[in-house]
Amino acid sequence: MSKVMIIINPSSGKEKAGEILPNAKEVLGKIYEHVIVRKTEGEGDASKFAKEACEGKFDAVISMGGDGTVNETVNGLAEQEHRPKFGIIPLGTVNDFARALHIPLDPVEAIEMLQNSDVKEADIGKVNDQYFMNVLAVGAIAEATYDVSVEQKTRLGSLSYFIEGAKTLVKKTPFPITVEHDKGRWIGEAYLLVATMTNSVGGFEQLAPEAEVNDGKLHTFIIKSLSFPLILKIIPSLIKGEIKDHEEIEYIQTSKLYVSTSEDLLVNMDGERGNELPFQAEVLHNHLSLFVPSVMIERK
């Protein structure tokens, strides 16, 4: 008896998730004998539902929501004895993980893709006892994203994160940081640390153009200096995918990170508030099986 669980965040997609749900149920009903729907009402619900699917040995779990819903679902699937195949119907503001997997950002097209998809193994990251699938960040700019309201995201999209981050430049101060990685240690002062597992961060798909969802690496950027003039110089490099070559940026590829500081800072994981520093991060290689367009398999 085949069965699939849809985990849906009703407030995603400008609250249009409910309109799309019947279509998803119809399409998935052609593939699986039983379609179970779980609607999130608060923080942690998606993780709880995903664990329920693992314990019930579901064949697949489909996340309908933004990156936050995807993150919670991943946290429920991670390191479970039985892990269902994982699908994403993007309904959020940025949808970085969907972008990296070349999943259509139009939810109707993403639903249709599930009828003729392939399965690809993908890495996830682990920080202490939490998990992420796309990016972790440390610094005042990263923490500023917590102040972005639902209304801002609805009105301005990914630009809302940039605006809140830019506000911190007015009172910018670097922080001391020690970063231990596969090839050694970096010690110095920084304004921001970003470690990504995919090529898409905040909707920018050229931060780490060489990053693949299953390369076993954390592509880590340490921004050592930051100002409005410097940002204007960095933007062309970002667009070209050459930001790692900038003199004010330290670029590290590693499978593990240990990050510490003398200041009170939190790690931001997939846009969500995470652990206090210090933290240990590692890659769980090929940990999840994801539904992706057939063309993505052909590219590899």
Query: Where are the domain boundaries for CATH 3.40.50.10330 in the chain?
Result: 3-122+287-295
Give the model's pLDDT for residue 160.
41
pLDDT in tens, 81-133: 999 999 999 998 788 889 999 999 999 999 999 999 999 999 999 998 899 99
Identify whether 104 is preceded by a cis peptide bond (ω within 30 of 0). no
What is the band of 12 on the pLDDT scale with cuts at 50, 70, 90?
Answer: confident
Assess whether 272 carries a catalytic annotation.
yes
Query: CA 11, CA 24: separation in Å to the nearest integer?
Result: 17
Out of 26, 272, 276, 298, pick the active-site residue: 272
Q: What angle separates helix 45-55 from helix 67-77, to the nearest 10 degrees?
A: 40
Q: For 216-265, how does the pLDDT look when each residue is reduced to its tens digit (9 = 90+)?
A: 999 999 988 776 556 555 555 555 555 666 678 899 999 999 999 999 99
Please provide the average confidence, as pLDDT, over all residues in the chain. Answer: 84
pLDDT in tens, 34-86: 999 999 999 999 999 999 999 999 999 999 998 889 999 999 999 999 999 99
pTM: 0.84
Per-residue confidence band for 267, with pLDDT thresholds at 50, 70 and 90: very high
Nearest to 5 by CA among 63, 79, 66: 63
Q: Is residue 6 pLDDT above 90, yes or no?
A: yes
158 φ, ψ to 5°? -65, -20
**CATH 2.60.200.40 residue ranges in the chain?**
132-285
CATH code for the domain defined by 132-285: 2.60.200.40
Domain 3-122+287-295 annotated CATH 3.40.50.10330: yes
Residue 156 scores a pLDDT above 50: no
Average pLDDT over residues 17-43: 94
Rounded to whole angstroms, the Cα distance separating 52 from 12 reads 22
Which residues on adjacent β-strands are paired with residue 223?
Answer: 192, 249
